[in-house]
Structure 1
Amino acid sequence: MATLEEFHEDFLQSILTDADSRGLLQAQSFFEVVCEDLVSVGDMTSNYSPAEYIKKGMEVYGYDYDDDRKILTVLNHQFFQDESIQTFTRMQMEAKFNRLKTFLTRSVDGLYKDMEETSEAYSMAYNIYKYFQKRQLLRVRLMLLTDGKATRNLLELPSDILEGAALDFRVIDINYLHNIYESEAKSTISDIVVDLPCLKINDEENSYQSYLTVINGDHLVDIYEEHGQKLFEQNVRTFLQFKGNVNKGLKITIEHKPEMFFAYNNGITATASEIELGEDGHLKKIKNFQIVNGGQTTSAIYAAKRTSLIDVSKVSVQMKLSVVKDASKQDDFISKVAEYANTQNKINNSDFFSNSPFHKDMKEYSSRVYAPAIGGAQRRTKWFYERVRGEYLNSQAYLKTAEKNSFALENPKSQVVDKTLLSKTEIMWLRRPDVVSKGAQESFKKFAEDITELLEKDNLAITETYFKDAICRVILFRTTEKLVSAAAWYDGGYRAQTVAYSISYLSELVVTSGLQLNFDLIWEQQEIPFELIEMLKLITQQVYQKITHPATGYANISQWAKNSMCWEAVRNIDIDFPELDERLFIYREEKNYKIKESKDVKILEKAIDNQVFVLNVTNANWKMIFEHYRNYKGIRSLSNMQLGILEKMSIKQITLPSEKQAKILYQIYDTAREEGLNLN
């Protein structure tokens, strides 16, 4: 793992590159990147909105409202943008907090009445006013984001009270951001202190240890109130409110038969990376606590107490806790537990998207497909697909200086694409700007659904052609952001919505014409052609005018942009384009032929890869797998034909497997590994 200093250097370069490629101010890029990180770990919700407002004595850059926990977060930042890590001093901190608090109190008093209605700041001030007026807040957090380092005793600041709501002060500094990067499991962030009697189920020889315990309803509410969605970060299901029959039943039991909750409910399945036991044998601390089944149970109990004011002190919830100490096996273990345990409501395959072959295919193309050299450059480069945060930096962790320089030249920072950005640009092109406007998490969820459905219909859909086209859509997105930021008509605010709707409008234009955008041209140039830029200039201006003048009844522009009615209004804009360059478009039949060619190549590559993989597996492993399935230990049993091929491979009767044999052996190996066989 990278040191704090290495992480800071990489983080700063990421911000500078992101700002340059998107036409943003560096402070804007910093704010967006950190907010998305906080959403990813559950510190904020996907409802967060950037909204800059700086006046005398006031400074704020955005806000977030957690409707489930009734928590309002108001955001400010201190971006040092220095090559070395700066200290965030008490004086700087107090000044920032005071400006935030002044804005908050002024908003409670009706500041929105003196603001321009079409601005993002107006929506922010109005919503804050509304939350307080309607008594919709249990807690308010003033949060400072910084790339500096705050001394530890300044991170925990005393709480206050504002209009009956608890007022907390919180600093997110470079140490905290490093913790997020350091482990996808975020073990330092979701540790919980408990005092629970427990029963140990298995011995130390197992790859994991399991414990049974019981947790009280009030205690569960306190844990959720403190940690929120962080607890469900690895969960496959979000809370469905009290709409389904299962959740209605939960509420009825909590309210009328709380003492029967233990008997009626399946309880919670959770994981941890480590636990601490007291001398009395009780669980005292659970590190990296994650609820992988029972998210609805937890949220239902919380909602019952906080929203419906129901007493949950008599509710007892059984909990099965599995401790997985090997971090490399934790994601796979969690995925399997979730897949087999989640039966309460229907689970879609897209809920397990993190294990989708989509990522493997994208990573494989990312590692071997070179982009054309442009601008007189002699060296060709790659687009780096980052499935897991920090993967780009980790790839350089053990390289020598010369190797690092070579890696950076071949994989420039400006050509790193993470799964969140990719999902956003793909959903834009699929003409769902209303979903994109709801935030990165909603875009990713929709993207997962669409890709899963696509792969279920056609498991060869993710080809080299798809990879190149997807990268071109990222280039399109970044170029459009730059155009909007630099436009004379753009007066600030709603840039993200304008970009999303503009790209969707272009996609709609292409689809209704019966043609396809010539992504090959964009790929070869590694930039958007001049003629397409001129089209986008016309589109973005018209789109901005349309979305900033919402339909009657939609005073809040941010909320209007999240509505499908907004998309209906935008897609009906009539723009008179000048004569277009024919090179920008190709016939659909031509594109389909190229896709078919790409699939044929993938079939051949897959067959060769299977053969190479099978030949590289040791004979000892093939013997182990054969014994495993011959004795019917597997969850899945093999057919006589499969078992016969496996036996021949284990006794070296097959020296060079055919394509069909290699495919069968590869599938058997993969299944055995998933079932827990210790293969190496």
Structure 2
Amino acid sequence: MPSLEEFHQDFLQSILSDSESRGVLKSQSFFEIACEDLVSTGDLTGNYTTADYSKKGMEVSGFDYDEERKVLTILNHQFFQDDELQTLTKSVLENKLARLRKFYTSAVDGLFKNIEETSEAYGMAYNIYRYAQRDQVRRVRFIVLTDGKISRNLLDIPIEQKGGIDYESRVIDLEYLYKIYETASGSAGFEVEVNLPCLRVNDNRHDYFSYLTVVNGKTLVQVYEEFGQKLFEQNVRTFLQFKGNVNKGLRNTIEYKPEMFFAYNNGITATASDVELDEKTGNIRKIANFQIVNGGQTTSAIYAAFKNSGLSVDDVSVQMKLSVVKDARLQDEFISRVAEYANTQNKINNSDFFSNSPFHKDIKEYSTRIFAPAVGGAQRRTHWFYERVRGEYLNSQAYLKADVKRRFLIENPKNQVFDKTLLSKTENLWLQRPDIVSKGAQESFKKFAEYIGDLLEKDDLAITESFYNEAIARIILFRTMERIVSKAPWYDGGFRAQTVAYSISYLSAVVQASNVFLNFDLIWELQAVPAELESVLGIIAERVYATITHPASGYANIAQWTKNSNCWESVKLMNVDLPELDSSLFIDRQTSKYKQKESKNIKSIDQGIDKQIFVIQRSREDWRKLFNFYTARNGRRILSGMQLDMLEKMASGYITTPSEKQSKILYEIFRDAQSDGFDPS
């Protein structure tokens, strides 16, 4: 595991790379990267907004609002940008917090009336004013982000209460961000203190062991109050409010028959990396890395009934099945399986199990195997590194010798690291969904997951090498557009992300209307956007910026306007006078279809070879165990006669070199058995 100092250096390199590739200030890059880290842990919602405002003793960088818990968060930052880890002093911290508090009180008093309506700060101040007027704030958090560290005695600042509202001041320093990295890497986490009676179900001989327990409604409210979305990082669904019949039933039971909740409700399915039992009572007293995999609706319903409706939950009891998986390598797959089998209360969408999709495996395999074209006189070709698991890029270097690490960094440069969040954003924009992307990373990823789920359901060969190359080209296009907007003389600041999003989608719409396809292969080969196309992007972006910053009547808040599908409809109606572009920038429909067909043929051949290798490399003993596994479980009913006969011949050694067709059948039998609990080791 990398040390704090190594993490600090890598973190600074991430900021430098992000800043250069997007054309933004390093401080802005730091703020956004840190906020995304906090979103990943549930400290912020996916709808946080960046908005700079500095004036008359006030300084703020953005805000966030948790609608369910009614928590308003106002953010500021202190970015040292120093190779040496700096210390955030008490005086600097107090000054930062004072400026945040001043902004909040001014916003509540109507500060938005004195701010330019086309600025992001206007939307921030207006929303805070509106929340206060509607009595929609229970807690206000003032958070200062820093790439330095702070003494432990300054981390726990007492919560103040005034007018029925809790005021909390927090510092998120580099050590906190490092702990997020450790948690994602499976080496650290958070603990929930409880007092729950329990029944142990199995023993330590298994990869996991379970407890059956009962959680009181008040305890559940307290735990959710403290940890919020951290409890649902691995959950496949979000709370659907009281819209579905199931949720209406939950609320009615809490209000009228709370003592029957245990009998009526399916309860909670949760996981943990460890538990600690009380030696005297045998009760569970600590749960490490507590994750509610199924039961998010139950938890949220109880919390909402108590907080929003003022209902008592003292008589509510919830059954809970808690499974402990100590091996971090097994947790993702285990949680995915639990979620798949346990979630039965409401319909599951294609996006819900996307974390277990073959899409990730394919993209990771291509990113490892495919070299990007060498450009600019480079002597060594490079990869685009797909960070499928958080912290994977840094972990890949952790135990490398100095010379091997240097080679790794040359072949996998920091500015060519990408993850599923960026990928979902760039793909959605080319699919002409800028309003969805403007709603935040969470919503964007959900829609992309649905799209990929449908795509793979129709065509399991859809994610080809050609798809991968074009996806990287779209990332290059996105970063180029960010630089263009940031450096444009007409750009006054604010709404850069929305301008970039709508500009790319507008380009996609223009190309589509011309009945041709953009030549992404050209961008891939150049590893850059051709200069001729760059100039067109600048023209489009200027018009888009002018359009989205003058919202339709009834939309005073530009940030909210860009999240509306009507905004996209208005942008599509723009008539931008574009110069005629060289034909090499486009390909016709027939060429595109031929390219896709060839890519799928190549992938099909590769898959067949991979399956043959897999089957041949398994020992005869493995096939014998597999045959016994099926026959012991009435495999004659599970498998067809042909499948069972082939498996028996493989187990007996009658098939020495299986054909491609035989390998495919045997491969699928083996994989199905593994998903059903078969383990040949």
- When the two structures are superposed, what TM-score results if normalisation uses the length of structure 1? 0.98
Change beyond 3 A, Cα 1:207–1:175: same
Q: Which residue of 2 aligns with 1:85?
A: 85
Contact kept in structure 2, 1:185 and 1:288, CA below 8 Å = no
User: In the alignment, does 2:569 pair up with 1:568?
Assistant: yes
Match in the other structure for 2:212: 212
Matched, 1:372 2:373: yes
CA distance in 1: counterparts of 2:49 and 2:430, whole angstroms: 22
1:33 alignment counterpart: 33
Alignment-derived partner of residue 341 in structure 1: 342
Contact 1:2–1:397 (CA under 8 A) maintained in structure 2: yes
Deviations 1:501-548 (A, max 9, x none): 000000001111100001111111110011111111110000000000
Alignment of 1:33-112 (within 5 A): 33-112=33-112
Q: What's the CA shift string for 1:49-106, capped at 9, x where partnerless?
A: 0000112321110000000000000001111111222222222211211111111112
Q: Where in structure 2 are the equivalents of 1:30-429 lying within 5 Å?
A: 30-184=30-184, 188-278=188-278, 279-429=280-430
Deviations 1:255-303 (A, max 9, x none): 0111111111011011111001002111100111000111100001111
The one-character-per-residue Cα deviations of 1:205-242 (angstroms, maximum 9, x if unpaired) are: 22211111111111111111111111111111111110
Contact 1:292 1:337 in 2 (8 A): yes
> For the Cα contact (< 8 Å) 1:190–1:231, is it kept in 2?
no
In 2: Cα distance, 1:210 partner to 1:316 partner: 19
Aligned match of 1:9: 9
SS of the residue 2:386 aligns to: strand
Q: Which residue of 2 is the match for residue 652 of structure 1?
A: 653
Q: Distance in 2 between matches of 1:367 and 1:637?
A: 37
Match of 1:462 in 2: 463
Contact 1:180–1:186 at 8 Å: present in 2 too? no
For structure 1, which segment, 20-29 or 574-583, has the greater mean C-alpha deviation from structure 2 after superposition? 574-583
Cα pair 1:186 1:288 within 8 Å, conserved: no
Residues 513/525 of structure 1: CA separation in 2 closer, same or farther (3 Å cut): same
Contact 1:132 1:163 in 2 (8 A): no
Partner Cα separation in structure 1 for residue 487 and residue 611 of structure 2: 50
- Match of residue 491 from structure 1: 492
What is the percent sequence identity of the aligned residues? 64
Distance 2:269 2:398 in 1: 35
Query: In the alignment, which residue of structure 1 is the partner of 2:676?
Result: 675
Equivalences for residues 543-558 of structure 1 within 5 A: 543-558=544-559
Distance in 2, matches of 1:367 and 1:349, equals 27
Distance 2:35 2:186 in 1: 16
State yes or no: 1:665 paired with 2:672: no
Look up the SS of the partner of 1:381 in the other structure.
Answer: coil
What SS does the corresponding residue of 2:184 show, helix, strand or coil? coil
Bigger Cα displacement from structure 2, 39-48 vs 65-74: 39-48
Give the distance between the partners of 2:617 and 2:183, measured in 1 at CA. Answer: 31
**1:638 Cα offset (Å):** 2.2
- How far did 1:636 drift? 9.0
Q: Could you say what secondary structure the match of 1:317 adopts?
A: strand
1:541 counterpart residue number? 542
Distance 1:188 1:127 in 2: 36
Determine if contact 2:436/2:443 at 8 Å carries over to the other structure. yes
One-letter amino acid matched to 1:51: A
**Whole-Å Cα distance in 1 between the matches of residues 554 and 489 of structure 2?**
29
Matched AA of 1:180 = I
Residues 634 and 137 from structure 1, CA distance in 2 versus in 1: closer, same or farther, beyond 3 angstroms? farther
Count of residue pairs brought into register by the alignment: 680
Q: What is the SS of the residue equivalent to 2:238?
A: coil
Q: Is the 8 A contact 2:426 2:478 kept in 1?
A: yes
The alpha carbon displacement at 1:494 in A equals 0.1
Distance in 1, matches of 2:162 and 2:468, equals 51
Cα separation, partners in 2 of 1:421 and 1:609, compared to 1, 3 Å: same
One-letter amino acid of the counterpart of residue 575, structure 2: D
Cα distance in 2 for partners of 1:220, 1:543 equals 47
Q: CA separation in 2, counterparts of 1:115 and 1:99?
A: 17
Which residue number in structure 1 is paired with residue 623 of structure 2?
622
Task: Report if the CA contact (8 A) 1:187-1:287 is conserved.
Answer: no
Contact 2:630 2:636 survives alignment (8 Å) = no
The equivalent residue for 2:509 is 508
> For the aligned residues, what is the CA RMSD?
1.5
Secondary structure of the residue aligned to 1:87 is: coil
| C-alpha distance in structure 2 between counterparts of 1:450 and 1:634, whole Å | 36
Distance 1:130 1:188, change over 3 A: farther
Once the two structures are superposed, residues 88-146 of structure 1 have per-residue CA deviations (whole angstroms, 9 ceiling, x without a partner) of 22222112111111111121222112111111111111111111121101111011111
SS for the counterpart of 2:638 is coil
Query: How many Å separate the matches in 2 of 1:176 and 1:643?
Result: 54
CA deviation after TM superposition for structure 1 residue 163, in Å = 4.0
> In 2 relative to 1, CA 617–182 (structure 1 residues): closer, same or farther, beyond 3 Å?
farther
Structure 1 letter corresponding to 2:104: L
Gaps in structure 2 of 5+ consecutive residues: none
Contact 1:48 1:64 in 2 (8 A): yes
Q: Quick one: structure 1 residues 527 and 123, their matched pair in 2 at CA, closer, same or farther if it must change by over 3 Å?
A: same
Counterpart contact for 2:185–2:390, Cα < 8 Å = no
Deviation at 1:441, TM superposition (A): 0.9
Alpha-carbon distance change, 3 to 637 in structure 1, aligned in 2, over 3 angstroms = farther
TM superposition shift of 1:679? 4.0
Task: Using the TM superposition, name which of 304-313 and 428-437 deviates more.
Answer: 304-313
Distance in 1, matches of 2:409 and 2:526, equals 21
TM-score of the superposed pair, with normalisation by structure 2:
0.98
Instruction: Provide the C-alpha distance between the structure 2 equivalents of 1:189 and 1:58, rounded to a whole number of angstroms.
Output: 35
Preserved CA contact (<8 Å) 2:182 2:188: no
Hey, what's the Cα distance between the residues in 2 that align with 1:162 and 1:425? 44
Question: Does structure 1 retain, via aligned residues, the 8 Å contact 2:183–2:189?
Answer: no
How far apart, CA to CA, are the structure 2 residues paired with 1:417 and 1:655?
43
Compared CA separation, residues 124 and 636, structure 1 to 2 (3 A): farther
Question: Which residue of structure 1 aligns with residue 578 of structure 2?
Answer: 577
SS at match of 1:51: strand
Q: Structure 1 residues 185 and 408 mapped into 2: Cα distance closer, same or farther (>3 Å)?
A: closer
Deviations 1:603-640 (A, max 9, x none): 11111111112222233322222221121178992222
Alpha-carbon distance between aligned partners in 2 of 1:135 and 1:358, rounded to the nearest angstrom: 44
Alpha-carbon separation, structure 2, partners of 1:89 and 1:640 = 74
| Most deviating of 637-646 and 168-177 | 637-646
Aligned residue type for 2:638: S
Give the C-alpha shift of residue 422 in structure 1: 0.5
Runs of 4+ in 1 over 6 A off after TM superposition: 633-636
Structure 1 SS opposite 2:18: helix
CA offset digits 1:124-174 (Å, max 9, x no partner): 111111111211011110111111122222211111134431000111111
Deviation at 1:398, TM superposition (A): 2.2
How many angstroms does 1:336 deviate by? 0.7
SS at match of 1:149: coil
The answer to whether the 8 A contact 2:182-2:189 is kept is no
Q: For residues 17 and 166 of structure 1, what CA distance do their matches in structure 2 show?
A: 39
- What do the CA deviations read for 1:442-472 (whole angstroms, capped 9, x no partner)? 1110100000000000000000000000000
1:141 partner SS = strand
